[in-house]
Amino acid sequence: MSPAPPRYQLRETGPPPSVDTVPALILPTARLSDSYTAGVQEFIAEGRGGPDDRSLLGDLLRDAGHPDGTDAWIHRVLDFERRLTTDPPARFVPSTTYWWTDGDTYLGRINLRHRLNEALSEVGGHIGYDVRPTARRRGHATAMLAAVLPNAAALGIDQALITCDTENTASRKVIEANGGVLEDEREGTLRYRVPTAP
C-alpha cells in the first residue's frame, strides 16, 4: 500500500517538522508553557502586543501582561482564553482558541468565534489566526485553518466569514487554499466565505 500523502508541504525555510508527530489542534494548556512563552516572545519581538495592537493577541497581552517567567503568567493566559468562551467581554462574542502544536512545540493559534456580531460581520469574521514567526512559510496556517473548519461546521456555521487586509498576501493564500471565495472588499479588507464542509 502506498504511504498516506503528507498533511502539509515541507518548505525550504524554517526548521524541519518533527518526524514522529503530526501537527494538531489542542486546547491551551500549561503543559506547553515554555514553548508557548517562546512563541509569544517571537511575536513581541516583531512588534506585536503594543498599545496599538488591536488583534486578539494584543488583547491577550493587555489582559494577562507580557511573559514574566512566572507560572502565574501562563495561568492568566489560560484564564483569558477560558473567559473568551464562557464569559466574554462586552464587545466579544463567545469564541474558542485552539493552539496548533507539533508534539510539545507551540506553532500558532486559531480563534473560532461561535457567531458573528455587527463588527465581526464587517471585519474579523468567524476565524482569526497567527503562526509564530519561526514556524512560518511551512504550510502551518493553511493546515491549521483546514483543521478547524469541521469545528466551525459543528457550531452550525456552513460558510465561515474570514477577512484579511488587502496587503496580507500570506493570509489571502491561506484562505483561498481552503476554498475561500471572495465576497467583497470593504475599505482595505477582503471578506471571504469559506465552506466548512468539503
Per CB under 6 A, residues contacting ligand COA are 128-131, 136-142, 164, 168-171, 173-174, 177
Q: Report in angstroms how near the CB of residue 170 gets to ligand COA at its nearest.
A: 3
Q: Report in angstroms how near the CB of residue 139 gets to ligand COA at its nearest.
A: 5
CB closer to ligand COA, 7 vs 66:
7
CB closer to ligand COA, 62 vs 173:
173
Q: Report in angstroms how near the CB of residue 36 gets to ligand COA at its nearest.
A: 15
Q: Decide if 192 contacts 151 (C-beta within 8 A).
A: no
Complete DSSP assignment for 89-130: -TTPPPEEEEEEEETTEEEEEEEEESS--HHHHHTT-SEEEE
Q: Which residues contact 197 (CB under 8 A, 6 or more apart)?
A: 149, 150, 153, 158
Q: Report in angstroms how near the CB of residue 40 gets to ligand COA at its nearest.
A: 12
CB closer to ligand COA, 36 vs 129:
129
Q: Residue holding cell 508527530?
A: 21
Number of H helices, E strands in the chain: 6, 7
CB closer to ligand COA, 43 vs 80:
43
Angle between helices 169-177 and 140-154 (to 10 degrees): 50
